[in-house]
């Protein structure tokens, strides 16, 4: 839909950005402008200003800026057209829809009126449920036993649907009103037209859209009856595949904490908000969809999905992966957290504490790792058939990724696992012929490129691995050249040290117990454990020993390079000059 620029200008002329922003942000007059704490990032001193003369807002801290429409888009997560319509409605203006036929315009107006009517009915029911909760000691006791305070219950608008079959008949003047059935509040039997309340004897969780309007409910039983949770049906205002519980309440926290934590239930969201994680949201009894992910990325660039560690949790995570892949650009972060089987987020925080759960979240698997793990699951990579199976499984996942550095890196990683050349795998997946491979021209005087998979004498290689896995901080003390030299060792030593290098970048030095746990699923996990098992307990890591091993390896590599250069020196001037440099360096080292 194209909105005429003249209408947008007229709308902005009527809207006062100070008044619009002031509904969400406490503003204070400071000279010609107004200032307040930025709603888009956490700050203690105001850097957010609103100019009434320019009709513009700007934050000097995070850089967010714009007009009244832009503020509504940033703060509520609405799209441009939705924000324009919302703002226009506040001034009684009709957004021009000239490209639609008169019939379509009438239908659109009727739809908007229907949506307004339905949300009004649902808001009235939500208020009735809140009042019922105050008179329901059993429901209040249940919430208290779950550790919820009255404050968090008020924040999320929790209520209670009494046990009666027609409680809502005392709330609405006409229980036969078709709107009650259309909103999902009342069930009507087609055979005899009998009506009764959908929600009975349940804790009620109002579901709000990004504008704060009630669009549906989730109801939880107080005991062990089935179903444990009951959701509103699909209606003109409510679609489980597009809405997220708690998103409206979490908007500010998403910006302050820097990420969204996606859980699997209403109670998880409310309990986590109580326990210091107000940035949690939940899907509504359905798998995570692309619409869910797209909506989340309106508020944050980082999403962590939390799932149970059982088979069902893994299946749900795979569906979330499919939903997230099209939006996993290089500037966004998607991670997957798998809880121990005996825990949900609420119980984990209560047993282990806020900080432990925060650390657990920090160690969640990035999308790249989960994609590769999912593709190779059940594949025997020691066989050609297993590698081919992995490639076939990875292809539809990889293709969904947006073009960028992440997609290219994953192509290389998957190609390495499949023992294929990167260009061959790209050609296989894209249908384009592989690029012709011309030998790279070496810069004159430069040493030849090191050959991957150099073999270190076994005892020496094992000892390097033992030192690094028991004293990961030793890795930080090495030079970049040493890092490259060790990561290029043949498998399994080189891949394990390359994994350690990546792990260090993300988590810093960790003890062997933590590294062993993180290595679960790595193809060389068993080898690393066997090497560490063979390490005598009486031996302590000695920096001099490490330096000696590295020096021996450097000398061995220099000898190999000199032997190779000497064969070419007679006909290759560059090789001759490089050989002279190495000989001179070797002599200097011996006399120093």
Over residues 281-330, the pLDDT tens digits come to 999 878 898 889 988 887 788 999 998 877 888 889 999 999 999 889 88
Would the pLDDT of 454 be above 60? Answer: no
Query: Is the CATH code 1.10.860 the one for domain 458-591?
Result: yes
Q: Is 336 exposed, middle or buried (0-12, 13-18, 19+ CB in 10 A)?
A: buried
- Residues contacting 322, CB < 8 A, separation 6+: 397, 400
Residue 361 phi/psi, 5-degree rounding, is -60, -40
Each residue's pLDDT tens digit, 18-60: 889 988 889 988 887 889 999 888 778 888 999 887 788 998 8
146-160, 291-305, 447-461, 556-570, range with the lowest pLDDT: 447-461
Q: What is the chain's percent helix, strand, coil content, to nearest 5?
A: 50, 10, 35
Q: How large is the average pLDDT for residues 265-271?
A: 92
Each residue's pLDDT tens digit, 48-58: 999 887 788 99
- What is the fold of 247-363? Dna Topoisomerase Vi A Subunit; Chain: A, domain 2 (3.40.1360)
Would the pLDDT of 480 be above 70? Answer: no
Which segments of the chain belong to CATH 3.90.580.10? 5-90
pLDDT, the chain, mean: 84
Closest of 92, 79, 86 to residue 1, by C-alpha: 79
CATH number of the domain located at residue range(s) 5-90 in this protein: 3.90.580.10
Which segments of the chain belong to CATH 1.10.860? 458-591
8 Å CB contact between 258 and 309: no
8 Å CB contact between 270 and 206: no
Sign of torsion over alpha carbons 80, 83, 87, 90 = positive
Instruction: Classify residue 4 by its DSSP letter.
Output: P
| Beta strand ranges found along 298-354 (DSSP E) | 302-308, 333-339
Give the relative orientation of helices 405-418 and 384-400 as an angle to the nearest 10 degrees.
170
What architecture is the 104-231 domain classified under in CATH? Alpha-Beta Complex (3.90)
pLDDT of amino acid 443: 39
| Cα dihedral value 435, 436, 439, 441, nearest 10 | -70
Which segments of the chain belong to CATH 1.20.50? 373-430
The pLDDT > 70 percentage for the chain reads 90
Q: Is 251 exposed, middle or buried (0-12, 13-18, 19+ CB in 10 A)?
A: buried
Which tokens hold the place of 382?
Answer: 């020691």
529-536: long-range contacts at Cβ-Cβ below 8 A with a sequence spacing of 24 or more? Answer: 531/462, 531/465, 531/466, 531/469, 532/466, 532/469, 532/470, 534/462, 535/466, 535/470
Distance CA 344, CA 357 (A): 11
Q: How big is the chain by its Cα radius of gyration, in Å?
A: 31
The better pLDDT of the pair 120, 474 is held by: 120
Q: H helices of 333-432, where? A: 345-352, 354-362, 367-376, 384-400, 405-418, 422-430
CATH number of the domain located at residue range(s) 373-430 in this protein: 1.20.50
Which segments of the chain belong to CATH 3.90.980.10? 104-231
């Amino acid at each position: 839909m194209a909105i005429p620029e003249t209408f947008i200008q007229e709308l902005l002329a009527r809207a006062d950005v100070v008044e619009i922003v002031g509904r969400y942000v406490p503003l204070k007059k400071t000279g010609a402008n107004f200032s307040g704490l930025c709603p888009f990032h956490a700050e203690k001193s105001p850097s957010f200003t609103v100019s009434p003369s320019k009709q513009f807002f700007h934050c000097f801290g995070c850089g967010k800026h714009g007009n009244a429409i832009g503020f509504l888009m940033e703060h509520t997560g609405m799209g441009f057209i939705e924000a324009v319509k919302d703002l226009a409605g506040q001034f009684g203006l009709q957004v021009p829809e000239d490209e639609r036929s008169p019939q379509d315009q009438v239908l659109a107006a009727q739809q908007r009126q229907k949506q307004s009517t339905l949300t009004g009915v649902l808001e009235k029911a939500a208020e009735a449920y809140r009042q019922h909760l105050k008179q329901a000691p059993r429901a209040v006791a249940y919430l208290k036993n779950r550790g919820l305070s009255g404050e968090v219950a008020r924040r999320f608008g929790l209520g209670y649907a009494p046990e009666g079959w027609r409680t809502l008949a005392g709330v609405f003047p006409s229980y036969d009103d078709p709107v009650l059935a259309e909103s999902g509040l009342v069930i009507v039997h087609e055979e005899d037209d009998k009506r009764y309340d959908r929600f009975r004897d349940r804790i009620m969780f109002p579901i709000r859209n990004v504008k704060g309007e009630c669009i549906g409910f989730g109801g939880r039983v107080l005991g062990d009856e089935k179903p444990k949770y009951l959701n509103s049906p699909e209606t003109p205002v409510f679609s489980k595949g597009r809405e997220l519980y708690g998103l409206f309440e979490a908007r500010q926290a998403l910006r302050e904490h820097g990420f969204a934590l996606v859980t699997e239930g209403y109670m998880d969201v409310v309990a986590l908000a109580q326990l210091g994680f107000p940035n949690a949201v939940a899907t509504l009894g359905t798998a995570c969809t692309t619409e869910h992910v797209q909506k989340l990325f309106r508020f944050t660039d980082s999403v962590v999905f939390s799932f149970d560690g059982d088979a069902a949790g893994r299946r749900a995570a795979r569906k979330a992966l499919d939903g997230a892949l099209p939006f996993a650009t290089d500037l966004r972060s998607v991670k997957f957290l798998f809880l121990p089987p005996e825990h949900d987020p609420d119980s984990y925080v209560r047993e282990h504490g806020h900080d432990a759960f925060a650390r657990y979240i920090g160690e969640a698997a990035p999308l790249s790792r989960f994609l590769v793990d999912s593709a190779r699951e059940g594949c025997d990579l020691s066989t050609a058939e297993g590698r081919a199976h992995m490639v076939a499984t990875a292809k539809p996942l990889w293709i969904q990724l947006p073009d960028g550095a992440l997609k290219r890196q994953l192509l290389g990683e998957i190609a390495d696992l499949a023992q294929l050349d990167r260009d061959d795998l790209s050609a296989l997946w894209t249908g384009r012929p592989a690029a012709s491979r011309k030998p790279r021209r070496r810069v004159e005087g430069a040493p030849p490129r090191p050959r991957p998979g150099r073999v270190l004498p076994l005892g020496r290689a094992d000892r390097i691995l033992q030192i690094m896995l028991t004293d990961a901080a030793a890795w930080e003390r090495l030079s970049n050249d040493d890092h490259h030299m060790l990561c290029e060792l043949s498998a399994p030593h080189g891949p394990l040290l390359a994994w350690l290098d990546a792990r260090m970048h993300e988590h810093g030095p960790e003890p062997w117990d933590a590294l062993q746990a993180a290595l679960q699923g790595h193809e060389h996990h068993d080898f690393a454990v066997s090497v560490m098992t063979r390490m005598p307990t009486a031996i302590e890591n000695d920096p001099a020993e490490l330096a000696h091993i590295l020096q021996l390896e450097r000398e061995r590599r220099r000898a190999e390079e000199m032997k190779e250069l000497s064969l070419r020196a007679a006909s290759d001037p560059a090789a001759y000059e490089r050989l002279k440099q190495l000989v001179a360096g070797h002599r200097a080292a011996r006399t120093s």
